[in-house]
Amino acid sequence: MKTKILKLSQNKPQADTIRKAAELLKKGQIVAFPTETVYGLGADAFNPSAVRKIFAAKGRPADDPLIVHVASIADAEKAVKEIPAVARRLMKKYWPGPLTLVMPKSKKVPGVVTAGLKTVAVRMPSHPVALALCKRVGPIAAPSANSFGKPSPTKAAHVFADLKGKIPLILDAGSTDIGVESTIVSLATKPAKLLRPGKITVEELRRILPLEIVTSVKKSERPLAPGMKYRHYSPKTPVLLVLKPSAGKIEKLVQSEQKKGKKVGLLCLGRYRTGAERVIIIGKTPEAAAKRLFDALRWLDLQKLDLIIAEGLPEKGFGMAVMNRLRRAASRIL
């Protein structure tokens, strides 16, 4: 299959391009599209054979459920058995935006979307392209548009690198704004549980509802968000994450690895003089770091390095989401 890339404007997506993509989706095809977090790979959520194509293209295990994207509360109501009052409060404050809510599913949602679970994850994206597509097609089931195990795509080129030949169309509206995936909250348990940290922070959410944090799981337990049991965001090159970095510490680490004959890449927040073979600076604020993180990991992984040393940041606010991805990418944490 030939994979077409169509460019469109983020703020004013061209109607004819949206129409083409919507037609493909309605015919049971899958299409990659930008959201404000990362690129998604979508299918009509109520068409099980279309949804199966997503799992095949990504090489995604069938026990990892997808997020249903909607353009209206009415469409969310079609996917969910009943929307609890607290969900309505969260939707009012954060939708459209990077907050995914897990609630008991309606009968209409096919089991392949939820991997057989009785709950469904729903979010209303704020990206004009994603919203326009959902408006035309109805609920769209979409995971991140990377192949399984790779970092999520924040550019159309990342999607192309992973899925070329496997999907008919990628909509390209440039780099995504946020850069890491949505916050996921399960409202199917009491108290509600944070399943994945994101741009909407725990601190913010706790002003609205009590929230338990369960983003790491032991191997033996059945994870609440099935996707969490898989190693994610992992470059092929080993990643050493340094939790409490200082200029001296990073410099020493780089040099001692180089003495062992290793080619070292550095993923850092600010500027250091270390002599590392490759350096990529992603920025000091969690917002800046999140935006460039996955692109930086993909780039470093192409540089034929023996080791990537990554600088950690404080795990509060949005920093928690960035560190969650870095911890998952890391093969060693220091």
Q: Which residue lies nearer to ligand TXA by CB, 114 or 324?
A: 114
CB 154 within 8 A of CB 39: yes
Packed helices 319-329 and 286-301: angle between N→C axes, nearest 10 degrees: 20
Amino acid in the structure at residue 147: S
- Our finding on whether 237 is near Mg ion (CB under 5 A) is no
Q: Which of ligand TXA, Mg ion, none has residue 64 at its interface (CB below 5 to 8 Å by kind)?
A: ligand TXA
Q: How many residues does the chain have?
A: 334
Sheet hosting strand 307-311, strand order edge to edge: 278-281, 264-268, 307-311, 239-242, 332-333
- Our finding on whether 183 is near Mg ion (CB under 5 A) is no
- Our finding on whether 144 is near Mg ion (CB under 5 A) is yes
Site for ligand TXA in 169-198 (CB under 6 A): 181-182, 184, 195
Q: What is the rounded distance in angstroms from the CA atom of residue 276 to the CA atom of residue 268?
A: 11
For residue 162, what are its two tokens? 């992973």
Q: Which of Mg ion, ligand TXA, none has residue 182 at its interface (CB below 5 to 8 Å by kind)?
A: ligand TXA
For residue 330, what are its two tokens? 């890391």
23 φ, ψ to 5°? -60, -45
Min dist. Cβ of residue 152 to Mg ion (A): 5
Q: What is the rounded distance in angstroms from the CA atom of residue 203 to the CA atom of residue 197?
A: 11
Q: Out of 13, 65, 151, 286, which residue is the one contacting ligand TXA (CB under 6 A)?
A: 65
Min dist. Cβ of residue 112 to ligand TXA (A): 12
Site for ligand TXA in 111-170 (CB under 6 A): 114, 117, 119-121, 125, 142-144
Q: Which residue lies nearer to ligand TXA by CB, 162 or 181?
A: 181
Residue ranges in contact with ligand TXA by CB under 6 A: 35, 37-38, 40, 64-67, 98, 100, 102, 114, 117, 119-121, 125, 142-144, 181-182, 184, 195, 224-228
